[in-house]
Amino acid sequence: MTQTPHISVQHLNVHIANQQILKDISINIPDKKVTSIIGPSGCGKTTLLKTFNRLLDNTAGIKITGKVLVDNEDIYDPAAEVTHIRKKMGLLSQRPYPLPMSIYDNVAYGPRIHGTREKAELDQLVEEQLKATGLWNEVKDRLNTSASRLSIGQQQRLCLARGLAVGPEIILGDESTSALDPVSTAIIEDLFISLKEKYTIVLVTHILRQARRVSDYIIFVYMGKIIEFGPTEEVLLNPKQELTKEYVKGYIS
Amino acid sequence: MRRRKLEELFFRSLMVLSTVIVGGSFFLIVGTIFYKGAPYMNLDMITKIPGGGFYIGKEGGVLNAIIGSIYVAGGATVLGLLISIPVAIFINMYMDGKKFLSNTLRMAYDVLFGIPSIVYGAFGFLIMVYFGIRASLLGGIIAVTLLVIPILVRTLDEVIRTVPGELRDAALSLGATRWETAKVVLRQIRPGIFTAILLSFGRAVGDVASVMFTAGFSDNIPTSLHQPAATLPLAIFFQLGSAVDEVQGRGYASALILTIIVLIITILAELLIKKFSKFRN
């Protein structure tokens, strides 16, 4: 863990309607690695993930204190531009939600809103990102058909391509394979592993096998607190904390 | 066991009966209008303006009212959409965290939804007096717009609420601004917008009370917003009030025309709803 952190969380507290969801979280997320956040349902792992791209901003009754530094820039600084922060991160949610438009327009959507208008440039971007997610050969003949006609696994890869098209540095995955069949899950997992060359990846998962397969580091969260953080093998096979031990063994879920 | 079977039978019969009543009244109403109106239907009815005095005559047709109704209902629906879409977007996408305010607004348009159209007519009339507008096409459009706004806002609000939060998150996390996200949501609910248009137009085209004071009466087709405009519901009202059989028959024929217009709009909306549903997830 001598790496430079890409995301640095310092004393982060999140309250939603008088309930404290995250308690004094401090963590450094390493650059160009896969880090998985694990923990039982309702422990705050998704909340933690969503604080990274300020998706919680519009939640009713939210109160966030502390700092989240991305590239040493505090994203909760009132002067920070939220669209700029979000552009740095691609989000892959639990189920794929393609935008209500064609396959091509889904991928081109991000670049378009950020000012790319040139047709040739968009064409190239779309092809590049669809290739990066292994979708190109499956969809190249029907780029103008509705994205909702794709299988759910293909849709999830399309959502990943859509996120990559805005040129992010970080990929956030919120249980991104939980709606997928085993084959699609394996494809997405392999993509995560290959994408970490270029991107910092943070995943929320409740599947320990998946955490073990894809991640370099693991954060174990329990009741809004970080209990343990370390390299995957260490946390899963040789946990230092009693709570982690119990969770990994399956006593708490 | 017997009791449960009887209960099943009872409620099943109740459902069948109710369905028959609803379906039956549809055919009864349309059938009656057709039966009474069809003999008086002719090409003149839909291609000519009334001859021989204000609807009471037996010549000519109701083209002025057909055009007037389409102008009023179409104008009000377009104007209503221009106002309702921003309201629905604002309540749903710009007021997060302000539950009290958005709920108050929702209650307000629910109340407006229930206000009878004569009140909108009277209110529209007051606005017209204030601005010095005479009974005219413009006056009618204003009053009917007031009438359809609650219908549009309510329908749009409900469809926007069915859009999954994750879709908004998806757009937001690509770095979209709120308005850009709202545009994605609007694309998603396009079929719902056509449902809203259908409901609004249907209500607008058939309402008498709101246009009674505001749109005025005329035997001619309005050529500007400031001219009075005839509308089909009022035409029907006057013709049915006549003691002359033939004029009454023409009233039923006018009702038939109104029904056909609503039918055409419904079919058109359904086609558009289908067309735009294909890009939804």
**pLDDT tens column, A116-133:** 999 999 999 999 999 999
Coil vs helix vs strand at A11: strand
Across the interface, which of A91, A100, A147 has its CB nearest the CB of B169?
A91
User: What's the pLDDT tens digit per position in B144-161?
Assistant: 999 999 999 999 999 999
Residue among B97, B177, B190 minimizing CB distance to A58: B97
Contact between B281 and A53 using a beta-carbon 8 Å cutoff: no
DSSP A149: G
Q: Which two structure tokens, joined as six digits, stand for B224?
A: 């500007």
Chain A touched by B103 (CB under 8 Å): no
Chain A / chain B CB contacts < 8 angstroms: 85
For A55-123, give the secondary structure using H, E and C: CCCCCCCEEEEEEEEECCEECCCCCCCHHHHHHCEEEECCCCCCCCCEHHHHHHHHHHHCCCCCHHHHH
Q: Please give the pLDDT value at position A249.
A: 85
Q: Return the bridge partners of A231, or none.
A: A217
Kindly state the helix (H) or strand (E) to which residue B228 belongs, with its residue range: none
Structure tokens at A166: 């805005």
* The two structure tokens encoding residue B32: 């009656």
CA distance A155 to B25: 46
Q: Using N-to-C axis directions, what is the helix angle for B137-161 and B63-89, rounded to 10°?
A: 40
Length of chain B: 281
What's the pLDDT score for residue B50? 84
Residues of B in contact with A98 (CB under 8 A): 281
Closest chain A CA to residue B191:
A100
pLDDT of A159 > 70? The answer is yes
pTM of the model: 0.86
Considering CB atoms only, which of B173, B279, B281 is closest to A86? B173
> How close A13 comes to chain B (CA, Å)?
19
* Mean pLDDT, 10 residues at a time, chain B of 281 residues: 92 97 95 92 87 71 92 96 96 84 91 93 91 91 95 95 92 94 94 93 92 88 91 91 88 93 92 80 52
Q: Which residues of A touch B187 (CB under 8 A)?
A: 99-101
Dihedral angle, C-alpha A233, A237, A242, A246, nearest 10 °: 120
User: How distant is the Cα of A253 from the closest Cα of chain B, in angstroms?
Assistant: 25
Residue-level pLDDT at B173: 93
User: pLDDT tens-digit profile of A184-199?
Assistant: 999 999 999 999 999 9
Structure tokens, A26: 């401090």
Nearest CA in chain B to A171: B173
Of the partner residues B172, B176, B281, the one whose CB lies closest to the CB of residue A55:
B172
SS in 3 state form for A18-64?
A: CEEEEEEEEEEEECCCEEEEECCCCCCHHHHHHHCCCCCCCCCCEEE
Q: What 3-state DSSP class applies to B51?
A: strand
Full set of structural domains in chain A with CATH: 31-44+81-249 (3.40.50.300)
Sequence-distant (6+) residues with CB within 8 A of A244 are: A220, A227, A228, A235
Backbone angles phi, psi at A67, to 5 degrees: -125, 145
**Quick one: DSSP state of residue B199?**
H
Name the token pair of A46.
């998704």
**DSSP-based helix, strand, coil % in chain B, nearest 5:** 75, 0, 20
pLDDT-derived band at A251, boundaries 50, 70, 90: low
Tens-place pLDDT, residues A11-41:
999 999 889 999 999 999 999 999 999 999 8
What was the pLDDT predicted at A42?
A: 86
Chain A neighbors of B177, CB-CB under 8 A: 83, 113
Please name which of B263, B270, B265, B268 lies closest in space to residue B33, comparing C-alpha atoms: B263
Nearest to A116 by CA among A166, A82, A162: A166
Query: What span, in angstroms and rounded, lies between the C-alpha atoms of A90 and A159?
Result: 9
CA torsion, ordered A207, A213, A218, A223, to nearest 10 deg: 0
pLDDT in the model for residue A46: 93
| A51-84 pLDDT per residue, tens | 999 999 888 888 999 999 999 899 999 899 999 8
